[in-house]
Amino acid sequence: MSIFDGPADRLPQRAGYLLLPNFSLMAFSSALEPLRAANVISGKTLYEWTILSIDGQPVTASNGITLVPEYGMVDRGYDFVAIIGGTGAERMQDPALLNWCRRLVRMGTDLGAISSGPYVLANAGLLDNRVCTIHWEFLDGFREDHPDLEVSNELYEIDGPIFTVSGGTASIDVMSRLIEVQHGHALAAHVSEWFIHKRIRDRSEHQRMDLRSRVGVSHPKLLAAIELMEANLELTLNREDIAQQVSLSTRQLERLFRKYLNSTPRRYYFALRMHKAQVLLRQTSMPILDIALASGFVSASHFAKCYREFFGRTPREDRMPHGTPDR
């Protein structure tokens, strides 16, 4: 029986939080603070928690803050364990970590993964034949590395004893859902309101802002053109095709991009392709030629030339680890 299936069978519920190196502090605090709030608001110890790291040693978040865990990878009768990922989780292949995850599931412990944490569960084979999600910035790379998995772009997914969470404030939503199932809607709503979280979002809501909010424009035909570009990064459309599909002339299309985005359709489309390539370089082990093709280029040499001109470094240099935003 999953922790999300009904009222808690014992109190307090015991949670373990495994912090990976360079973990996301926001994802971690958003997954822990709702449980603390539930205890305070209810006046009862509904939840207890333990902080873990792989080796029991202090672990540093992606923003440079270091936390001291209580234990390494031990089992202490947890009802659930949440793995908090961040920068670099896509490279986590530690056999001890993967075996520990498999052992927890065999013992009947619910296992969650937040932000980039689903990479660990995928590498352990625990996402096979399950629906999962991951932070949108890791989505393309995750799908390339694990093409056989069913990956959504929703806030979180619960599939049996496994739950995956996109990260950031989505952790508040999944923990609010847990509190609601175990202790009622009134408490969950109060917890959400504590954090100025105006409503408990459903898991099926998409992670990203709608396109209008993301690009800061509202012109419907310009938005339609950008949507076409984002959906066609591998097999690029020419300017005439885009204009025709959104019922504009090429001159009108050029005018809209200059007026609202201070760009041209060609430059804007090119930037989308470059940023997709950068994500694949940093988060996957795909050959550079395959990344070039996935980003709409026909040769690795042309791709490398364009990449260096755009980012000021070569694709091979961007294969080195870099800091990325906290998720």
State the pLDDT at residue 211: 79
- Domain 211-319 listed as CATH 1.10.10.60: yes
Residue range 13-194, CATH number: 3.40.50.880
Segment among 15-19, 189-193, 285-289 with least mean pLDDT: 285-289
Sign of CA dihedral 256, 260, 265, 267: positive
State the pLDDT at residue 207: 76
- Taking residues 45-65, what's their average pLDDT? 97
State the pLDDT at residue 209: 65
pTM (two decimals): 0.80
| Residue 323's pLDDT band (cuts 50, 70, 90) | very low
State the pLDDT at residue 318: 85
Share of residues in the chain with pLDDT > 90 (%):
78
- Confidence check: pLDDT of 71 > 90: yes
State the pLDDT at residue 320: 56
Average pLDDT, whole number, for the chain? 92
Residue with tokens 């070039």, as numbered in its chain: 292
Bridge partners of 154, per DSSP, are 206
Q: Who has greater pLDDT, 75 or 252?
A: 252
Share of the chain residues as helix, strand and coil, in percent rounded to the nearest 5: 45, 15, 40
Query: Is it true that 13-194 and 211-319 share their CATH fold?
Result: no
Cis peptide before 12 (omega within 30 of 0): yes
Q: For the chain, give every domain's residue range.
A: 13-194, 211-319
- Confidence check: pLDDT of 327 > 80: no
